[in-house]
Structure 1
Amino acid sequence: EINLSEHDVNEILSISKRSDLFKLLVHSLCPSIYGHELIKAGLLLAIFGATERLNGMRNSSHVLIVGDPGLGKSQMLISASNISPRGIYVGANTTTAAGLTVTLTKDSNRNEWALEAGALVLSDQGVCCIDEFDKMKDHTSLLEAMEQQSISIAKSGIVTTVPARSTILAAANPKGGHYNKSISTKANLNMDSALLSRFDLVFVLLDKPDHEMDKFLSEQVISFHNSGKRNFSFQQKWKNNQINFNRQDSALESLDNFSDDLPLIDHLKIKSEAYIEPLSSSMLRKYITYAKKYIHPRLSPLAKSRLKEFYLEMRHSKSDETPVTTRQLESLIRLAEARAKLALRDVVCLEDCNDAIEIVNFCKANLDQKPNTNSKSGKKPNSKSAEIKLFLAEIQTLAQQNPGSEFSYQQLFQIAQELNLQKIGDFNAFIETLNYQGYLLKRNNKMYKVITV
């Protein structure tokens, strides 16, 4: 157990008053990995956890990161286990189901059976990070632990239940080595839907070749290895050219709801050359310890109304890929409470709900993505999201047919008119959002280059 001194508490309270608190904590989690702000935010909310309940309902939010190799999944899990007050990191390819749960051993001297705790039991009320999750031979052993937060055993005359109130953070590579967007996430992982539904957040990371992005990241890696800090001047140089370097973080759902308010990812990104000094792992661990021990937020009436409204919207627009049940509502509540706990608030406010909703929308949009639709099929899109996908499919097809071509604003507007798009609203704001999300690259001559997938 971590003991907090009076000096530690004063420093924690001082940190909590910072206006950029969420950004600071996000960039303090695995600072060696650039970008992935929303994924780091989701991991942080899972580590802080929701308010503990007396009725036995779980307060743990489980997170799964799936995607192509080499994108920093393992490093983020290792960092998450390091900053957690009680964290364990294991590789699923080198452990067994018994090693994760409970195993029985026989004492040869006393001729008695004894229980030995696995990783989930040892990380009770903490975090268990499972890497190479796709290499696990038997996922069914995790079902009870993830939902009931306990493990039941009945072997060799021993019948008992042991607590396993652990938050599971898992990372997996898709079968075949690379994520196939033409099939579902469940098919990519060869994972049972019962297990997949127990994860509150499922992030999809894609390795999209991009010359500018690759050049930027290579500079970052070299700079970090030389000095231990990222090269923020280089970051600002490319930012001024209006290039979005985190296209894998883009989500169609944010396009469906763009407004004048800045999205969460924009608040979390570092936009200036000013270097934000991340908290040390020790200080972040103390901050999390204090929050989990002393902060127990409750939902305000406004927060309840907002979460209920969003849940009903999800139910109305449910998809086959991500069926919506009351389990999703419980996840939203946990994430909103964790967001309030992160800010050391006793009451969940509207900002906490909106941040949790944006992270859920980001995950949902990536899971709901389907292969590009043929714009010449004659089928009329029946929703705003469908119109966006249709427009993207059309301009990407045109760009692939004419490599190196660029489009003017008027040409893009003409394409939208030919497709008879009626639900995207302000077209100028729509194009700027596509540019921000990385689907379009705005040149200095006011021409747009389509980023092909």
Structure 2
Amino acid sequence: MFTLYVEGISIVSSKVLEKSYEINLSEHDVNEILSISKRSDLFKLLVHSLCPSIYGHELIKAGLLLAIFGGTERVNGMRNSSHVLIVGDPGLGKSQMLISASNISPRGIYVGANTTTAAGLTVTLTKDSNRNEWALEAGALVLSDQGVCCIDEFDKMKYHTSLLEAMEQQSISIAKSGIVTTVPARSTILAAANPKGGHYNKSKSTKANLNMDSALLSRFDLVFVLLDKPDHEMDKFLSEQVISFHNSGKRNFSFQQKWKNNQINFNRQDSALESLDNFSDDVPLIDRLKIKSEAYIEPLSSSMLRKYISYAKKYVHPRLSPLAKSRLKEFYLEMRHSKSEETPVTTRQLESLIRLAEARAKLALRDVVCLEDCNDVIEIVNFCKANLDQKPNTNSKSGKKPNSKSAEIKLFLAEIQTLAQQNPGSEFSYQQLFQIAQELNLQKIDDFNAFIETLNYQGYLLKRNNKMYKVITV
């Protein structure tokens, strides 16, 4: 009977070795990477190289790319990785974009939350039956350290709290069976989720649609909402796109020319699509990322894009310019004073803006974050905010207006509780409550004064002095 063993000659810490995202690059690879970085349509090229089989969603792909590139590494322990959540109706390409993101990342892992556990994502303890000792086994977040962990079906995950430490502190602590340790999990999380009930309900908040804790939702730097809006002309041309891609493996741009010739309104001016792809104050990012109707961009291969990302993460470490600092600070203060936010704005959002702006400069292999980088990031953030801050249109003629008194009461309570959660500790005057009711167009409530007194008696409102009311949140 012989026992197998391994004899160690020397021990070298893995921290002194090459980082996980580094790939051996030849001189030809470096020259090609530098050549690509000089293109005026660089951002557009990289965006359309991410999951080219999915048409559109340019800003969402741009957000995923910025998260993959990441910000500048710091020695003070602050995280440089950005997290992205895509939520929306099924069948819009969320899973395909995550799979593509994991393929182009130098160290990417794709998992389905419906087939994994909290231990499978973090760490688990196993016991060696021969030696009667406990050992740690790494989960997906640890295995994707300094890389990307793509989590699909995020809404099916039962233990969201297990991700809180990994998303913010970039580590996972464990204290089980006499083992107390902390393992690094410096991973960027890209997640996709379907709303509760199958389809996104615009009359509810994102938190309510996902049934997700606000502490976890606030850790995502970007939250994109995808809605499946029926459009006969758009659906017709997209079907041509899908069939063409399956037949030839390339996009068919003839349908875009037809669309332009037929003068179908896509809510954008044609002149914007004909402008230059490089930075311009007059052309929004969404239009600069759109492919012109007569043009075709050959996307980069997954291997080449992976090399480009690895080179950028290793050699490019951007710093904020004075103009960039001023612009990000200005936008952050605007968000702080805005009352349309679904989640409270804290310094976490400012740190997120800095990381995304650094990633935008790193994408172009620049060592300085310029004003245009900040403007691109702000447009992406505003795109997310516009979808998250959508509220039901109570004045529409489509039958969406509450048709009963109880429905109007529920709508009013939901609105004031949302406002109270956005501004903790705030109180409302009688006049403010009356104005909210007018904005909601409540018509079934005849005596508003008696209505407020009833809410106070039932415990939904707490009456203070001088007719000030505190909302009791649930």
TM-score after normalising by structure 1: 0.80
Question: Structure 1 residue 241: deviation in Å?
Answer: 3.1
Distance in 1 (alpha carbons) for counterparts of 2:131 and 2:58: 54
**Secondary structure of 2:467's aligned partner:** coil
Q: Return closer, same or farther for 1:322/1:441 CA change in 2, 3 Å cut-off.
A: closer
Contact 2:273 2:287 in 1 (8 A): no
Q: Return closer, same or farther for 1:138/1:253 CA change in 2, 3 Å cut-off.
A: farther
Considering only aligned residues, what root-mean-square deviation do their CA atoms show, in Å? 13.3
Contact 1:206 1:248 in 2 (8 A): no
% identical aligned pairs? 98
Deviations 1:146-169 (A, max 9, x none): 000000000000000000000000
Deviations 1:295-348 (A, max 9, x none): 000000000000000001111113351321111100000000000000000000
Question: Structure 1 residue 272: deviation in Å?
Answer: 2.6
Question: Structure 1 residue 246: deviation in Å?
Answer: 8.9
Question: Structure 1 residue 95: deviation in Å?
Answer: 0.3
Question: Structure 1 residue 439: deviation in Å?
Answer: 38
Q: More displaced, 248-257 or 273-282? A: 248-257
Contact 1:68 1:179 in 2 (8 A): yes
Contact 1:125 1:166 in 2 (8 A): yes
Contact 1:85 1:289 in 2 (8 A): yes
**Secondary structure of 1:377's aligned partner:** coil
Deviations 1:16-44 (A, max 9, x none): 00000000000000000000000000000
Distance in 1 (alpha carbons) for counterparts of 2:90 and 2:415: 30
**Secondary structure of 2:397's aligned partner:** helix
Q: More displaced, 100-109 or 427-436? A: 427-436
Q: Return closer, same or farther for 1:230/1:376 CA change in 2, 3 Å cut-off.
A: closer
Q: Return closer, same or farther for 1:344/1:421 CA change in 2, 3 Å cut-off.
A: farther
Pick aligned residue for 2:404 from 348, 367, 383: 383
Q: More displaced, 371-380 or 351-360? A: 371-380
Q: More displaced, 50-59 or 419-428? A: 419-428
Distance in 1 (alpha carbons) for counterparts of 2:245 and 2:451: 36
Q: Return closer, same or farther for 1:451/1:393 CA change in 2, 3 Å cut-off.
A: same
Distance in 1 (alpha carbons) for counterparts of 2:452 and 2:316: 42
Distance in 2 (alpha carbons) for counterparts of 1:325 and 1:406: 20
Q: Return closer, same or farther for 1:162/1:417 CA change in 2, 3 Å cut-off.
A: closer
Contact 1:85 1:126 in 2 (8 A): yes
Residue in 2 that maps onto 1:339: 360
Q: Return closer, same or farther for 1:422/1:391 CA change in 2, 3 Å cut-off.
A: same
Q: More displaced, 429-438 or 250-259? A: 429-438
Question: Structure 1 residue 171: deviation in Å?
Answer: 0.1
Question: Structure 1 residue 275: deviation in Å?
Answer: 1.1
Distance in 2 (alpha carbons) for counterparts of 1:165 and 1:200: 15
Q: Return closer, same or farther for 1:15/1:447 CA change in 2, 3 Å cut-off.
A: farther
Q: Return closer, same or farther for 1:228/1:100 CA change in 2, 3 Å cut-off.
A: same
Q: More displaced, 424-433 or 372-381? A: 424-433
Q: Return closer, same or farther for 1:384/1:306 CA change in 2, 3 Å cut-off.
A: farther
Q: Return closer, same or farther for 1:377/1:288 CA change in 2, 3 Å cut-off.
A: closer
Residue in 1 that maps onto 2:200: 179
Q: Return closer, same or farther for 1:249/1:126 CA change in 2, 3 Å cut-off.
A: farther
Question: Structure 1 residue 243: deviation in Å?
Answer: 2.9
Deviations 1:80-120 (A, max 9, x none): 00000000000000000000000000000000000000000
Contact 1:51 1:296 in 2 (8 A): yes
TM-score after normalising by structure 2: 0.77
Deviations 1:172-199 (A, max 9, x none): 0001000000000000000000000000
Q: Return closer, same or farther for 1:191/1:434 CA change in 2, 3 Å cut-off.
A: closer
Question: Structure 1 residue 240: deviation in Å?
Answer: 3.3
Distance in 2 (alpha carbons) for counterparts of 1:261 and 1:413: 41
Is the radius of gyration larger for structure 1 or structure 2?
Answer: 2
Runs of 4+ in structure 1 over 2 Å off: 239-260, 375-453
Q: Return closer, same or farther for 1:237/1:74 CA change in 2, 3 Å cut-off.
A: same
Question: Structure 1 residue 261: deviation in Å?
Answer: 1.1
Contact 1:243 1:438 in 2 (8 A): no
Question: Structure 1 residue 373: deviation in Å?
Answer: 3.7
Contact 1:250 1:438 in 2 (8 A): no
2:435 is the counterpart of 1:425: no
Contact 1:124 1:166 in 2 (8 A): yes
Q: Return closer, same or farther for 1:209/1:376 CA change in 2, 3 Å cut-off.
A: closer
Question: Structure 1 residue 237: deviation in Å?
Answer: 1.2
**Secondary structure of 1:154's aligned partner:** strand
Contact 2:40 2:278 in 1 (8 A): no
Distance in 1 (alpha carbons) for counterparts of 2:458 and 2:296: 24
Contact 1:46 1:62 in 2 (8 A): yes
Pick aligned residue for 2:313 from 280, 285, 292: 292
**Secondary structure of 1:278's aligned partner:** coil
**Secondary structure of 2:297's aligned partner:** coil
Question: Structure 1 residue 251: deviation in Å?
Answer: 17
Question: Structure 1 residue 262: deviation in Å?
Answer: 1.3
Contact 1:105 1:114 in 2 (8 A): yes
Distance in 2 (alpha carbons) for counterparts of 1:351 and 1:317: 23
Contact 1:62 1:199 in 2 (8 A): yes
Contact 2:272 2:287 in 1 (8 A): no
Q: More displaced, 239-248 or 178-187? A: 239-248
Residue in 1 that maps onto 2:337: 316
Q: Return closer, same or farther for 1:399/1:234 CA change in 2, 3 Å cut-off.
A: farther
Residue in 2 that maps onto 1:121: 142
**Secondary structure of 1:258's aligned partner:** coil
How many residue pairs match? The answer is 453
Question: Structure 1 residue 429: deviation in Å?
Answer: 46
Pick aligned residue for 1:226 from 222, 228, 247: 247
Q: More displaced, 266-275 or 87-96? A: 266-275
Contact 1:298 1:347 in 2 (8 A): yes
Question: Structure 1 residue 414: deviation in Å?
Answer: 26
Distance in 2 (alpha carbons) for counterparts of 1:229 and 1:220: 9
**Secondary structure of 2:266's aligned partner:** coil
Residue in 2 that maps onto 1:89: 110
Q: Return closer, same or farther for 1:4/1:442 CA change in 2, 3 Å cut-off.
A: farther
Pick aligned residue for 1:112 from 105, 108, 133: 133
Distance in 1 (alpha carbons) for counterparts of 2:237 and 2:129: 60
